[in-house]
Amino acid sequence: MLVLSRKESQRIRLGDSIVITIVKISGDKVRVGIEAPGDVLVLRDELEAHAAPAGAKQLAPATESVPLRHSA
């Protein structure tokens, strides 16, 4: 497992089409933004047991985005 330290608004790229952004850090919580193609299933680990069966229609991707604050 690769473990990285990141600050707010910093990104991690996975391959050519997936970007993970640290949106906000507040206390012991971290908000993570994930940009991925529509055919990539993004699922929180605790929901894996309840995942839809293979071939089931996935939910539409979110259309709302959160603007990032960039540090100067």
pLDDT (0 to 100) of residue 17: 95
User: What are the domain boundaries of the chain?
Assistant: 1-39
Residue 6: other Cβ atoms inside 10 A? 14
Alpha carbons within 13 A on the beta-carbon side of 40: 11
pLDDT (0 to 100) of residue 61: 52
C-alpha to C-alpha distance for 52 and 35, rounded to whole angstroms? 21
Report whether 52 contacts 58 (CB < 8 A).
yes
C-alpha to C-alpha distance for 11 and 9, rounded to whole angstroms? 7
Using a cut of 0.85, tell me whether the model's pTM lies above it: no
- List the pLDDT tens digit at each of the 72 positions of the chain: 999 999 999 999 999 999 999 999 999 999 999 999 999 988 888 876 666 556 555 554 554 444 555 444
